[in-house]
Every structure is written in C-alpha cells, then in structure tokens.
Chains A and B, each alone.
Chain A
C-alpha cells in the first residue's frame, strides 16, 4: 500500500513531468531517490517516530549546490565531465535532516552570472505567469518551480540579486540572509565576497521554516559568522515598524515598481523617505568586484576551454579577469565606506523598502526595460536595485506584490544585519493583509 508521503512525492513528480517540458525549471529529476526517501518517511510515520519540521516536504535546489551522487553543473556544460559530488552541500544536508525530500536540481544562468536564466546549454526557464516572459535569474529555475507549484520550496543563491530578481519576476517569497549567516559550503562559488544562499517559498511561514532548518555552524565556510541558531518567532512584536522608502536610485524603475512599494509602505503604517549616498558608485563597485573575482575564479578554465562556456558569460568573465588590481582594492575599500553610511540608517529605521526589480517580467522577444523612461537591455539591468544591497550583505526578504490579473513584482524588505526574523515577521504581516502573496497558477 502506498503511504501518504510516497503518494505526495509521486504526485509532485507527475506534475513536474507534465509541466517542466514548457517551463524548463529542472535539469535533473531525482525520481528514484525521492520516492525511496518518501517510503522511508512513511515507515517512520508508521513506527510513530516524532515528526521532523519538514517531514515529507518536497524541495529542489539550484544546480550549483552539491547533491551527493550528482555532478554539480552550476549551469555549465564544462563541469559535466566532473565526478558526482561525494556529499551534499551543507544547506541541502540540513533540509534533508529536517525531513525534506529532494526531488531535483534546477536551471540557472551559467555560473550564476546573469539575471535571466537564458542558458545556452540547458535552455531558457520560462515564467509560469506567462511562458513568453523571463523568469529572472540567476536562480530562475528555483523561483519558477515554486511559482508554478511544482515544489513548495527551493534553494537558490544570491550574489548581486539572484534570489531577489527571480522572486520578483515569478511572484514568490525569497530570502537573502545576511552575508555569512548561512554556510555556503558545497555551493559552487561565483563571487566569494558577495555570495549568499537562501530559500524560495510560496508562504512566509514555509520560507522561515526552511531558513531556520538551514541555520547551524559549519567549519567548512570560512566566512560564516558564528551565531547561535535563532528560530524565527512570529507574533511576538506588534510594534509598528519604523519604515523608510529608498528614493533616488531606487525610483528609476517602472510606475508598477513604485506602486508596489507604495502599497507595502501603506500596509506597514507609512514610510519616511531616505536617499542613500553614492548608490550609483556602489553598483559600479559591485560590478567591478563581481567581474574581477568571477573572472579570476574561471581564468584557468577560460584560458584552455573558453569556447565551452556560454557565449553570454565567457567574454564578461575574461574581461573581468583583466581588471587591474587597484580597481578591485578601491572597490572593496569603498564597500567598507558605503556599508558604514548605510548602517547609520538603522539608527532611525527598522526596515528599508525598495523594488526588487525595476519592472515586471520582460518578454523574451522584447528584452528591454524602461529605466528613467529610456529603454535599456533587460539582462544587464534587472539587478539594478538589488546589487547595492547585497554589496554590503544586508538581509532582504523579497515579497511578491500583485494586482489581480497582473504580473507580479517584488519589494525588498531590507533590515539591519542578522535581523532576518524582523523581515520575515513584516512579510507575514503583509501576507496576512493580502498585500503580498503568491498567486495560484494553473499548473496542477
């Protein structure tokens, strides 16, 4: 007789089989091991063992996370000849220990260097709200799989916006924790100075539960901070938050982006205005550090096998590797300065609001967006409002805001370092009053 968890996982695999041909979220589907894990869960239930926090919850991971027995591709072709991973990435292991059942690995921009998940090797991931539109990237497979309801939970990474951009375009909740909060061990790096890992989910409670399960001390990530596990507590603090809306640089997007921030600000009781200094320079510094660190990481392979890289990636990485060291040093020093300026904002405010993307999902056949009312290439500019924040490692919960019948767009709830719980609490408040939330789509 089929147990409840096995039936649930079989239904998930069936749904993936029916819809992933169009959406192209998955690069690997782990049917056999997922069904085996489900049967093991059913056996634990039958034996009356205590329930684990994620017991039987299906999840999937961006294919830059090590999964035992699977070759880690990081969106590339060039890594396909590498041996399978010997162990799970730390956060994958944590989710499995909590009872989660891994069903597969997800598409992404090659080596996480992009905002659109248009991958020359593995194809483009399509937005479940409209398959003719971009899912965003680089964790586009993760966001799209959650938005379509193929899985309730997925993991991604965020270096310059790669959780927040696809969460915005696909209309799901996403969490980019504080830099150093979650271990990145076993996640293929891109820009170590900025790399973060985090979850996507359809509800704030599920997002928080995944985050809580992934916390924990790991000696294998040298930049992880030592902090105790701090489970997210909801409903503990009903004080009205002190809210600021980021202006200037963050006002350059579409009217829909500004309107989404307006709705969130109003639901949180109103917001002051704040113009962060030198944000254009912060974006430039993030751009230079990303190019330089990413280029340096790939230079040995690029010098031998450049033509096996995605055309959208290889020339940018090569150029970045050639950037003079003085630029990298100045950009990193500027980062220290900028961080100090922005942190003073939290003496006055609890949360800062900004659009996650300048616009809703662009069409594949018209890959431009309006910025300052002028058309610019979408792929290069979708992360414009995300980059300055990950540059200094602040935690961000991205909440999906959507008018009925319209495409979604995300708003960033930015809090002080290590205040993920506050961001999640505010996100839940927005979800409860109907300002933020995932739409039910017809992928059943």
Chain B
C-alpha cells in the first residue's frame, strides 16, 4: 500500500470523525490504492454537463414514496 493512501485514510477518517484501528490501517490503505485506480478511470471520462443522476428506468417511482429523485 502507498504511504499516500495511509495519510489520506487518516485525514479522511478524521474529517468523518471516525477512528481507524491501527491494525487495519495498512489494509484500508491497500484498498484505497485499488479504489484510486478505479476512481481515476471514472473521473477521466468527459461527461456533458446535462448528464444527470437519474432513476435507472423511466418508469414511475412508487406513488407513496417521497423520494422521486432518488438516484437509481
């Protein structure tokens, strides 16, 4: 795992107000390294500004729900 991911894990956890068990830190950093590569691939894709998060399909949400815009 990278030292960069270890530092990031500690800073991000502090922002969220959680403590990472020291014995888990290396494993969390290794998983962040993996996530970093997937995130980079996602962030590199150019999307037009009008591409919005939308329910998966255009069928109606349940009439009793109050969350019609919930990400699908």
Contacts and interface: CB of A to CB of B under 8 A. Distances in A.
A222 B32 contact: no
A234 B43 CA distance: 45
Contact of B54 (A288, A323, A336): A336
Interface string B10-51: 001100111111001001111110110111011101010001
B53 A319 contact: no
Contacts of B59: 180, 225-227, 417-418
B60 A226 contact: yes
B52 interface: yes
A331 B18 CA distance: 25
Contacts of A327: 39, 42-43
B28 A334 contact: no
Interface in A316-343: 316, 318-324, 326-327, 329-337, 339
* Interface SS majority for chain B: loop
A401 interface: no
* Interface SS majority for chain A: helix
A179 B28 contact: no
Interface string A185-226: 000000001000000000000000000000001110111111
Contacts of B17: 303
Given A219-B62, A320-B35, A393-B56, 4 more contacts: A180-B57, A222-B66, A226-B62, A418-B57
17 contacts: A225-B60, A225-B62, A226-B60, A281-B41, A281-B42, A288-B35, A307-B21, A318-B9, A322-B32, A323-B35, A326-B43, A327-B42, A335-B53, A336-B52, A392-B56, A417-B56, A417-B57
Interface of A: 178-180, 193, 217-219, 221-227, 278, 280-281, 284-285, 287-288, 291, 299, 302-303, 306-307, 314-316, 318-324, 326-327, 329-337, 339, 392-393, 417-418
6 A-B pairs with the lowest CB-CB distances in the bound complex, closest first: A315-B27, A319-B31, A303-B18, A284-B38, A322-B12, A222-B65
